[in-house]
Structure formats: structure tokens, C-alpha cells
Amino acid sequence: MSGDARNILRALLIQPRLRWQDPAENRAQLEAQVDQALENSDGVDLIIFPETFTTGFLGDADREPESMDGDTVAWMADVARRRDAAITGSVVVGEDGARFNRMLLVTPEGDIHHYDKRHLFAYGGEHKRYTAGTRRVVVSYRGWRICLQVCYDLRFPAWCRNQGDYDLTLFVANWPGKRITAWTALLIARAIENQAYVIGVNRVGEDGNGIAYPGQSAAFDALGEELASLGDDVASGIVELDLEALKDVRDELPFLADADRFRLEI
């Protein structure tokens, strides 16, 4: 477990307008957004960026992928240490000759966890460029069990299913405007069916392929009630999650105990 256990987890959602294929500029603007959001706050435990936050979705064409020893991971570790908060979001990472859409979670203590996106978006050609992940990842951090998920994973409830092993699911995304109704509906569904907090962080603006993104980053509690929503422009927001309140819901409504048992084949 990383860090001291905390009943209240304070999470900062960062909804940016990403620059196409410009990692250095994206890192700079994301850090500026964090600085502004935390200027008059008491700090947070977790900072969440969108999917492929250095390049935009499929924005790594004609670029070498980053490595785990590269600039972005080092920058995340530095920001995490200075802000005493874990940093998470996905980056295109190259490893052993393959490319992964890799969600990183870097703690203030320097621990680096990662989850490789399982469900590649074949409709957009993502499967032609990246290798799919094969393992589900739950990170223990400050007394919370956090499940890492990326964008298209949201559509697959069996993969997201709570096996009694997480309290919070994070979905980082580049989710387009044409299907934004599904984004919100599925975030709520994942929260209710898994009796867990759910946070989804999306981006805004248009990417280099002409696809528009409407934001709508949001957080929901285990009953599907909205805790935060960031609208359709560049924004940030802090949400407080209460572990005791979550346990009370599960005790009062022990629905997970009645879930069907099955084995997921990968």
C-alpha cells in the first residue's frame, strides 16, 4: 500500500484541450492547470489526466513512443512528489518492440504502476498500432483500492466488474462528442452495478484527425449520484470521496454478494 490510509480521498479532475502531437506543450499546460486548480486549496491525493494526454488519441503517428524512462514518466514523478499526490493518465509507451496505450499511476513516493488498455478501439484503428493489455490492475493507495481503466474499456462490464477488490474505478478517455450520451450513461452504470465510486476524465477540443471531444468529465458515487461534472470546456474540479460512506452503502445494500460467478477468458 502506498501512503497513509485516508478515509477521505480528494481527487482533482483535469479536463484539458490537448495539443496534437506536442508532448512538451501538453505537459506544460497540464501542470499550469494543476497549479491554478490547487492555488487556494488544501491539496489533493490524486490528480487525473485524460487518455493519451501527451499526444492526443492516435497522435503518435510518425513519432517514437515514449519509454518508461522517458520525459513524461519523470515529469509525472516530479509533479507527484511536489504536490504530494498520485498522478494518473495514459501515454503511448514503447516496450519490447510493441506500443501500448498505457495508463500510469505514479505516487508521491515514486512508485510507478501501469495498466495497458485491454480493449483497443478497432472502429478507429487503434488495434493496428498498439498491443492490447492482458491483465487487470488494481492499485492500493492511501487505503483505497483503485481500478485502472482506459476509455473503450468502459463499454465492457465483465472486464470492469468489481470482484470485491476495488473501491474506485478511474476511466481516462478521449471520448468523442457523437457518443457522449453513452459516456455518461455507462459511467453511471459502472458505478451502480459495481457499488463503487467512478471517475471519468475526458478532454475537449478537436484533434488532428478532426474529431471533436466535448469533455463531460464526471464523478459518481456507488448509487450513481453525480458528485462532480466539468461541462464542455477546459476545466478542473476537486471531488471528495468518502470510504466509510461507501462501506455503509455496501452494508445496507449487499448486492455484490448475489452476483453471478464466472471466469473471464483473455
Q: Is the pTM of this model over 0.95?
A: yes
Is residue 3 situated within a structural domain?
no
- Using the 8-state DSSP alphabet, how is residue 254 labeled? -
C-alpha–C-alpha distance, residues 162 and 133, integer Å: 18
Check pLDDT > 70 for residue 109: yes
* Domains identified in the chain, total number: 1
C-alpha–C-alpha distance, residues 175 and 214, integer Å: 8
C-alpha cell at 60: 503518435
Mean confidence (pLDDT) of the chain: 96
Is residue 120 situated within a structural domain?
yes
pLDDT given at position 263: 84
Is residue 66 situated within a structural domain?
yes
Is residue 15 situated within a structural domain?
yes
In the chain, the amino acid numbered 93 is: V
* Virtual torsion, Cα 189, 121, 90, 220, nearest 10 deg: -10
Check pLDDT > 80 for residue 258: yes
Give catalytic status of residue 109 as yes or no. no
Is residue 135 situated within a structural domain?
yes
pLDDT in tens, 41-83: 999 999 999 999 999 999 998 889 999 999 999 999 999 999 9
Check pLDDT > 90 for residue 174: yes
Which CATH number covers residue 166? 3.60.110.10
Is residue 136 situated within a structural domain?
yes
68 in the Ramachandran plot: left (φ > 0), alpha (ψ -120 to 50) or beta? Answer: alpha
Contact between residue 60 and residue 67 where contact means Cβ atoms under 8 Å apart = no
Residue of 126, 147, 151, 160 with catalytic role: 151
Give catalytic status of residue 252 as yes or no. no
Query: Nearest Cα to 11, choosing from 192, 241, 259?
Result: 241
Distances (CA, A) of 246 to 33, 166, 211, 219: 30, 11, 37, 14
Check pLDDT > 90 for residue 249: yes
Strands 98-106 and 112-116: antiparallel
Instruction: State mean pLDDT over 190-201.
Output: 98
Q: Which letter, b or e, does each residue of 132-153 get, where b requires 16 or more Cβ atoms within 10 Å of its Cβ?
A: ebeebbbbbbbbbbbbbbbbbb
pLDDT in tens, 122-144: 999 999 999 999 999 999 999 99
pLDDT in tens, 2-36: 668 999 999 999 999 999 999 999 999 999 999 99
Residue of 66, 117, 147, 160 with catalytic role: 117
Q: In what order do the strands lie in the sheet with 98-106?
A: 112-116, 98-106, 86-95, 46-48, 8-15, 235-242
Contact between residue 74 and residue 27 where contact means Cβ atoms under 8 Å apart = no
pLDDT given at position 4: 86
Q: Categorize the per-residue pLDDT at 265 as very low, low, confident or very high, splitting at 50, 70 and 90.
A: confident
Check pLDDT > 90 for residue 231: yes
pLDDT given at position 1: 56
Is residue 264 situated within a structural domain?
no
Give catalytic status of residue 128 as yes or no. no
Domain that holds residue 27: 8-258
C-alpha–C-alpha distance, residues 227 and 204, integer Å: 20
Is residue 168 situated within a structural domain?
yes
Contact between residue 78 and residue 107 where contact means Cβ atoms under 8 Å apart = no
Contact between residue 174 and residue 202 where contact means Cβ atoms under 8 Å apart = yes
